[in-house]
Chain A
Amino acid sequence: EVQLVESGGGLVQPGGSLRLSCGASGFTFSSYWMNWVRQSPGKGLEWVAKIKQDGSEIFYVDSVKGRFTISRDNAKKSLYLRMNSLRVEDTGVYYCVRALQFLDRYLDLWGRGTLVSVSS
C-alpha cells in the first residue's frame, strides 16, 4: 500500500526539541521531493520545509529557519524533521507529504499527521 506514516509528535515545553519521523512504503521514495506541512489548531495550512530527492536542495518557511532541520534517508525510506527551540506557535499537526513526481510544488500523498504541542 502506498502510504506515509508519521511519528515522534508529543508535548514539549517552549525551548524544547522534538524529532519527527516519516516512513514511506509502496513507492520509490528516492524519486520524490518530500515535504513537511503543518496545520495549527483550527487554522490553515503552512508549508514548513521541503527536500529534494538527493537532499541537495532544501527550503524552509522563514519562521522556522535556523530552528528546524529537514533530512532524509533514502535507504531507510524515511523523512525527518528536527525541531529545536520550539515555540508555542509551532503547535499543530505535522504532515509528511510527497510531491508529484516532476511537479514538485504539488502535494499528492499525505500522511495522517502527528500532533506537536508546545506548552508550559
Chain B
Amino acid sequence: QSALTQPASVSGSPGQSIAISCTGASSDVGGYDYVSWYQQRPGKAPKLILYDVNIRASGISSRFSGSKSGNTASLTISGLQADDEGIYYCASYTRTKGLDVFGGGTRLTVL
C-alpha cells in the first residue's frame, strides 16, 4: 500500500483538461512543498514532469501544471493529447522516512 493515494485511473478527450490528485498527510504532502510528478509511458522509464509542487522540469510543456491544497497535491494537464497517455506518479518528501515516497500511480487514458 503506497504512502500517497492517487486515483487508479482518469480519462479525457483530446483538447480537454484533466486533474490527478495525490493525497498524503501533514507529515508529507501537507507539510512541505516537495511534491513532484512523473510520467511513465508503456515500456519506458519514468520521466520527471514537475517538482517543488509546480516547477516544470526541463523541456516540459506549459500544458502541465501543479498545485497543492492542504494534504492534497494535484497535477493538471490542459489541451489533452494522445501522447499524454501513460501512468502518472506523484512523490513527496516525508519527515517520517529517509527517502521520499511515491503514490500508487494513475493511469491516464485519452479517449
Q: Which residues of A come within 8 Å of B, CB atoms?
A: 37, 43-47, 49-50, 59-62, 95, 100, 103, 105-108, 110-113
Residues of B within 8 A of A110 (CB): 45-47
Q: Which residues of B come within 8 Å of A, CB atoms?
A: 2, 34, 36, 38, 45-48, 51-52, 57-58, 89, 91, 93, 97-105
Q: In the complex, how many angstroms separate the beta carbon of B77 from the nearest chain A beta carbon?
A: 19
Check if B89 sits within 8 Å of A44, measured CB to CB. yes
- 18 examples of A-B residue contacts, CB within 8 angstroms: A37-B46, A43-B104, A44-B89, A44-B104, A45-B46, A45-B102, A47-B91, A47-B99, A60-B98, A61-B98, A61-B99, A62-B97, A100-B48, A105-B34, A105-B100, A106-B57, A108-B58, A110-B45
Q: In the complex, how many angstroms separate the beta carbon of A45 from the nearest chain B beta carbon?
A: 4
Q: In the complex, how many angstroms separate the beta carbon of B30 from the nearest chain A beta carbon?
A: 17
Instruction: Please name the 5 residue pairs, one residue from A and one from B, whose CB atoms are nearest each other, closest first.
Output: A110-B45, A59-B98, A106-B51, A47-B99, A45-B102
Among residues of B, the one whose C-beta sits closest to the C-beta of A93 is B45
Give Cα distance in the complex from A106 to B47, angstroms. Answer: 10
Check if B99 sits within 8 Å of A59, measured CB to CB. yes
Among residues of A, the one whose C-beta sits closest to the C-beta of B100 is A105
